[in-house]
């Protein structure tokens, strides 16, 4: 079964072809980062218009990359939500129009389910059950995953998502949008010992997290440094490092706690912040200390992409035989999905 996947929930148009037997055959991505950079954040109307421009050419590029034609498709999967309403409508319209024209099934995929299952696109593949650490720009959750659609939220951020904290902190340090990856690059060259920032809720007796106070702590530190003579490049890198150390510490500690509480031995990391090198290194080190296994998506599939949507759609069609129709759900709770 050959599935075309279309992702258009935010500022990336991703299209991919996933075959149940042959695996991922092609994936194409256009990021709107440069377009939104001059506004300092995503402008929803511009995002929608750009998805319209990109969806069909990326689909054609995917088919060419895989040596396939539209006639070879067996189904189409698209991101149904959560995300920006207008942006979602573009993917939903293209997917449904193509599927109607080709007379094949169409399935609406939950964006976070796409992220959650994306580590199954890498080798070795984790078997169910596992604990998932979902760390994206909009969500930070720890989940017990017992099968496709069987997701129990164990803990989550009470305010900002980890990616959001990276982006907001980057902005207040004067880094250009989207600041997360840039902040993390600067942090790699920073001194981990020079500044220490608070680890919110680290010792709380639950799996919830809170990251909004961290950006305020960074702001206070930056002001102190400014008053003490200004922030040179080295100091900026050291502040970035202190911020990253704090976030990574909390994410690693809460992940270990989730594994312990659930009695599971496998951790799966998904979402944009899963691309963070320091987080990966810290999780790998903790895993080898505690005899646990950690799984990641391929690096290129950590942030938004069409491959995870094609894959999740293929899984739903294969195991649940659910075909959707035309709908978007800008707000959509992952735990409400039916298990298969
Ligand atoms: O999963 P994703 O592509 O989109 C959402 O569904 O939100 O995640 C994007 C988020 C952004 O906040 C971005 O700053 C963050 O992931 N991110 C990173 C890194 N790469 C992307 N954060 C920290 N370190 C990175 N290397
Ligand atoms: Zn995402």
Q: What CATH number is associated with residue 35? A: 3.30.420.40
pLDDT value of position 192: 97
Residue 148 alpha carbon to ligand 2 centre in Å: 18
Ligand 1 pocket, residue 245 CB under 6 Å: no
Residue 286, Cβ density class (10 Å: 0-12 exposed, 13-18 middle, ≥19 buried)? middle
**Does one domain contain both 216 and 314?**
no
For residue 54, the enclosing domain spans 2-116+301-336
pLDDT value of position 224: 96
Tell me the per-residue pLDDT of 200-209, one tens digit each, with 9 for 90 and over: 899 899 999 9
Q: Is residue 185 part of a domain?
A: yes
**Does one domain contain both 70 and 161?**
no
Residue 179 alpha carbon to ligand 1 centre in Å: 9
Q: Is residue 21 part of a domain?
A: yes
pLDDT value of position 338: 85
pLDDT above 90 (res 40): no
**Does one domain contain both 181 and 225?**
yes
Question: What gap in Å lies between CA 338 and CA 279, rounded to an integer?
Answer: 31
**Does one domain contain both 215 and 198?**
yes
**Does one domain contain both 291 and 325?**
no
pLDDT value of position 44: 97
**Does one domain contain both 108 and 221?**
no
Bond from prior residue into 129 cis (ω within 30 degrees of 0): yes
> What are the respective helix, strand and coil percentages of the chain, to the nearest 5?
50, 20, 30
The stretches of the chain forming alpha helices (DSSP H) are 33-37, 44-66, 85-102, 111-117, 162-172, 179-188, 212-227, 233-262, 277-290, 307-319
**Would you call 155 helix, strand, or coil by DSSP?**
strand
What is the rounded average pLDDT of the residues 83-91? 98
Q: Which band of pLDDT confidence, cut at 50, 70 and 90, is reported for residue 45?
A: very high
pLDDT value of position 212: 94
C-alpha dihedral (236, 239, 245, 251), degrees to nearest 10: -100
* Top mutation candidate among 303, 304, 330, 334 for ligand 1, by most atoms within 8 Å of CB: 303
Q: Counting ligands in written order, which one lies closest to the CA of residue 211?
A: 1
Ligand 1 pocket, residue 178 CB under 6 Å: yes
Q: Is residue 122 part of a domain?
A: no
pLDDT value of position 244: 98
pLDDT value of position 319: 85
**Does one domain contain both 105 and 155?**
no
Work out how many domains the chain is built from and give that number.
2
With the C-alpha atoms ordered 210, 152, 310, 80, is the resulting torsion angle positive or negative?
negative
Ligand 1: which atom is nearest the Cα of residue 167? 14
**Does one domain contain both 157 and 290?**
yes
The more confident residue out of 324 and 192 is 192
The residue among 45, 7, 4, 51 whose CA lies nearest residue 310 is 4
Q: Please give the structure tokens belonging to residue 123.
A: 């080798």
**Does one domain contain both 48 and 191?**
no
Tell me the per-residue pLDDT of 284-335, one tens digit each, with 9 for 90 and over: 999 999 999 999 999 999 999 999 999 999 999 998 767 678 999 999 988 8
pLDDT value of position 2: 98
Q: Is residue 8 part of a domain?
A: yes
Task: Give the chain's mean pLDDT.
Answer: 95
**Does one domain contain both 321 and 264?**
no
**Does one domain contain both 269 and 142?**
yes
Ligand 1: which atom is nearest the Cα of residue 170? 14
DSSP string of 59-93, one letter each residue: HHHHHHHHT--GGG--EEEEEEESS-HHHHHHHHH
HSE value, Cβ hemisphere, 13 Å, CA-based, for 184: 19
Ligand 1 pocket, residue 166 CB under 6 Å: yes
pLDDT value of position 323: 67
pLDDT value of position 258: 98
What is the rounded average pLDDT of the residues 21-36? 97
pLDDT value of position 191: 98
What is the rounded average pLDDT of the residues 122-139? 95
Q: Is residue 123 part of a domain?
A: no
Question: What gap in Å lies between CA 231 and CA 175, rounded to an integer?
Answer: 13
**Does one domain contain both 239 and 188?**
yes
Residue 232 alpha carbon to ligand 2 centre in Å: 33
- Choice among 59-63, 92-96, 230-234, 283-287 with the minimum mean pLDDT: 230-234
The residue among 60, 91, 58, 64 whose CA lies nearest residue 76 is 91
Tell me the per-residue pLDDT of 254-281, one tens digit each, with 9 for 90 and over: 999 999 999 999 999 999 999 999 999 9
Q: Is the pTM of this model over 0.75?
A: yes
pLDDT value of position 336: 87
Q: Which band of pLDDT confidence, cut at 50, 70 and 90, is reported for residue 92?
A: very high
Ligand 1 pocket, residue 278 CB under 6 Å: no
What is the rounded average pLDDT of the residues 25-31? 98
Asked whether the beta carbons of 84 and 90 are under 8 A apart, the reply is no
Ligand 1 pocket, residue 274 CB under 6 Å: no
Neighbours of ion ligand 2 (CB under 5 A): 136, 304
């Amino acid at each position: 079964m050959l599935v075309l996947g279309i992702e258009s929930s935010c500022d990336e148009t991703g299209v991919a072809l996933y075959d149940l037997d042959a695996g991922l055959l092609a994936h194409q991505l256009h990021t709107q980062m440069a377009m939104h950079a001059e506004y300092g954040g995503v402008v929803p109307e511009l995002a929608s218009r750009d998805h319209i421009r990109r969806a069909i050419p990326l689909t054609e590029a995917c088919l060419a990359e895989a040596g396939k034609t539209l006639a070879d498709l067996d189904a189409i999967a698209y991101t149904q939500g959560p995300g920006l309403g207008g942006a979602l409508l573009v993917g939903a319209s293209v997917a449904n129009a193509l599927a109607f024209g080709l007379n094949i099934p169409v399935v609406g995929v939950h964006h976070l389910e796409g992220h959650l299952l994306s580590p199954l696109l890498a080798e070795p593949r984790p078997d169910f059950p596992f604990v998932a650490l979902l760390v994206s720009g909009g969500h930070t959750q720890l989940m017990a995953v017992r099968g496709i659609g069987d997701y129990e939220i164990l803990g989550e951020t009470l305010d900002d998502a980890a990616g959001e904290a990276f982006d907001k902190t980057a902005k207040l340090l004067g880094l250009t949008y989207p600041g997360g990856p840039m902040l993390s690059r600067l942090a790699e060259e920073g001194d981990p010992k020079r500044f220490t920032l608070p680890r919110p809720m680290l010792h709380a007796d639950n799996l919830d997290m809170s990251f909004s106070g961290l950006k305020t702590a960074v702001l206070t530190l930056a002001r102190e440094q400014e008053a003490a003579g200004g922030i040179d490049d080295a100091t900026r890198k050291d502040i970035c490092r202190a911020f990253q150390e704090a976030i990574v510490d909390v994410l690693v500690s809460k992940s270990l706690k989730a594994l312990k509480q659930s009695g599971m031995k496998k951790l799966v990391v998904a979402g944009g912040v899963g691309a963070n090198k320091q987080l990966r290194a810290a999780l790998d080190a903790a895993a080898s200390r505690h005899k646990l296994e950690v799984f990641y998506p391929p690096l290129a599939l950590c942030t938004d992409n069409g491959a995870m949507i094609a894959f999740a759609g293929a899984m739903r069609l294969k195991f649940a035989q659910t075909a959707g129709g035309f709908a978007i759900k800008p707000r959509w709770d992952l735990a409400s999905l039916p298990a298969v």
